[in-house]
Amino acid sequence: MGKEWTLAMLKPDAVERNLIGAIISRLESEGFRVVAIKMTRLTKESAEAFYSVHRGKPFFESLVRYITSGPVVAIVLEREDAVTHLRSVMGATDPAKADRNTIRFQYGLSIEKNTIHGSDSPENARREIAFFFTEQELAELTSK
C-alpha cells in the first residue's frame, strides 16, 4: 500500500480544552505526517455543507450549533492506509463505546462532543481536504 491522505478535524471541544498539541503529538506518534494544517471557524452554512450527509437526522441541528461554537483545526495527514488507521486511532463515535487506547476514549466528552473528526473513505477524504484547502495551498506545501 502506498501513502494515502486523510482529513482530521480537531473539534471545538478539543481547541477549548487546549488539546491541540496532545492530539497532534498522538497522531505523529502513530506515524502520520502533517501535510497541511489550518485553524478556522465554520459558518452555519459551511458546517451544514460539511455534514450534509447527516441533514435531516435528529442530531443535525445540534451538531451544526456545536461545530460552529468555536474554532476547529483541519489537518491533512499522510500515512500508509491513512483513512483506516485514523478511524482506528480515533475510536467509535460514542466515546463511551470507544476502545481504551483511542483519542475519543481518552478525550471525548459525549457522542456529540467527541473531539476529533476523521474521513471515513478515501473518496470523502478528497472531498473534505478540498473543503478546507485549495489546490494551490496543497501544491505550495508539497512542492519539492
Instruction: Please identify every residue annotated as catalytic.
Output: 117
H or E stretch covering 84: helix 82-90
Binding mask 104-123 for Mg ion (x = CB under 5 A): ----------------x---
Burial class (CB in 10 A: 0-12, 13-18, 19+), 62: exposed
Selected binder of ligand IDP within 40, 52, 93, 142 (CB under 6 A):
93
Q: Strand, coil or helix: what is 71?
A: coil
The item of ligand IDP, Mg ion, none sharing an interface with residue 117, based on CB under 5 to 8 Å by kind, is ligand IDP
H or E stretch covering 61: helix 60-67
CB of 102 to ligand IDP, least distance (A): 11
Residue whose CB is less far from ligand IDP, 71 or 138: 71
Selected binder of ligand IDP within 22, 34, 111, 138 (CB under 6 A):
111
CB 11 within 8 A of CB 72: yes
Q: Which residues contact 97 (CB under 8 A, 6 or more apart)?
A: none
Q: Point out which residues bind ligand IDP (CB under 6 A).
A: 54, 59, 63, 93, 111-112, 114, 117, 120
Summarize as ranges the residues that interact with Mg ion (CB under 5 A). 120
